[in-house]
Amino acid sequence: MNPDIERNLGEQPIAKIMAEHGVKPHDVVAASIEQLTHKMVARAVRGRRLTPNAQSKVLSALNKATGKNYSLGDLFNY
């Protein structure tokens, strides 16, 4: 692993989107049809760098939970 990669990137835009819609991490996990964990959602909100696969799982679950059509750029700033 590359030690130069910053892993903690601060709170992400997904946190604001979830707050605007009144969606809790459990709601996102419950809406997912893929294997998505509470830990993955918590890490996404806190700004830990996620793999592209995990990002897409969070994105699809959030879109389903909110009824909107967000893109990865809307949720993450990295």
Q: Which of 2-6, 24-28, 51-55, 61-65 has the lowest mean pLDDT?
A: 2-6
**Contact by Cβ (8 Å): 55, 76:** yes
Q: What is the number of other CB atoms lying within 10 angstroms of the CB of residue 17?
A: 17
Backbone angles phi, psi at 66, to 5 degrees: -95, -20
**Can you give the pLDDT at residue 75?**
96
Q: What are the tens digits of pLDDT across the range 25-45?
A: 999 999 999 999 999 999 999
Higher-confidence position of 7 and 22: 22
pTM: 0.88
**Contact by Cβ (8 Å): 36, 57:** yes
In whole angstroms, what is the distance from residue 8 CA to residue 20 CA?
A: 23
